[in-house]
Structure 1
Amino acid sequence: MTRSGIFLGSIGGVLLLAMMGLTVCDVIGRYLFNSPIKGASELTELLLCAVIFVGLGAVSLAEDHVTVDLLTEKMPQAVHPSRQALTGALSGLILVVIAWRLWIYADQIGGYGGQTTNLGIPIAPLGYFCAVCAFVGGLITAFLPLRRFIRRLQE
């Protein structure tokens, strides 16, 4: 795993740990002291969103996306490099389109000042963060298999 992957994985782990700690404290406060943490569900949702999109970059760098190989295992070995390059490029393109739509959605949310209900945390910055993470993940998802394919052609 690369340094970037370790860094992104570590950030995701810290966010996940914070989400877990918040949930534990909220449950203890709710059931033992009858005093839940105000806005805990909102913070959990925001943290979960951040964990997912930070994790996207780490997964892309490690090329650990979920795959289903119902047909691919029956294909000849010679087809696999070009298939991987094509599926990487298409997956990357899909992630870039998702990033574009997330950016537009974040613009809309920012335009009307969307924020969480209880704590009043602005939602648009999280949308922009998710869009950037999806865009970077898309570039990585497309780039790594294409680079491997080009290197194989040059051999």
Structure 2
Amino acid sequence: MKHSPADTMARGPEAAMSPGPGHALWPRRLLAGLCGAILLAMMGLTVVDVAGRYLFNSPLNGATELTELLLVSVIFLGLPAVCLDDEQVTVDLLVSRLPARIQPWRKAALALVSAAVLGVVAWRLWLHGDQIAGYNAVTNSLRIPVAPFAWGTALCTAASVPVTLYVAFRDLAQSLRS
């Protein structure tokens, strides 16, 4: 997929190498749908809590806990989608001045580093979930077990590892062919 020069300038040097957000439609749509549903639930929860607090002087019990758990869920469910779309936040101070022939290799090397970091984070999140499960941690008001959320974040982070590698090396192969 070709990108215009304006698109490349707006999104950085990776924009010319990435096929963009439509390349793997069904996983992206599934994650977007899940995240959208969670965001709608958070919005509804907040509206009910605020209305209850200010109109009836009776806030929704456990609204803060649920909002926190839903926020963690939407962030970590969105992580594989961000990796799939190759839309991570980047700071481009020097790399845009590197020759174009080096850019795909730089991106592949950074993907290896990113995948390693994501792998370590996933591993540590899983161990943290085990630790939380060991002392049966639950939320204060609603007594919701916290460990499954830690394990869920670990799984989403772990799913981001192969996605990151796939996107980077797909883009490298594409740039080597052209």
Match in the other structure for 1:144: 167
> Does 2:59 align with 1:49?
no
Q: CA RMSD in A?
A: 1.2
Match in the other structure for 1:89: 112
Question: Would you say the 8 A contact 1:96–1:139 is kept in 2?
Answer: no
Match in the other structure for 2:121: 98
Which of these residues, 11, 15, 38, is aligned with residue 15 of structure 1? 38
In the alignment of these two chains, the number of paired residues is 155
Report the CA distance between 1:89 and its aligned residue.
1.3
Q: TM-score, normalised by structure 2?
A: 0.83
After superposition, the C-alpha distances for 1:50-88 in whole angstroms (9 at most, x for unaligned) are 000001011111111111111111111011000010111
Letter of the 2:121 counterpart:
I
Q: Which one has a larger percent helix, Structure 1 or Structure 2?
A: 1
Letter of the 2:111 counterpart:
G
> 1:27-46, aligned counterparts within 5 Å?
27-46=50-69
CA distance in 2, matches of 1:76, 1:26: 54
Moved beyond 6 Å, runs of 4+ = none
Report the CA distance between 1:148 and its aligned residue.
2.5
Letter of the 1:132 counterpart:
L
CA distance in 1, matches of 2:112, 2:43: 35
Identity %: 46
List alignment gaps of at least 5 residues for structure 2. 1-21
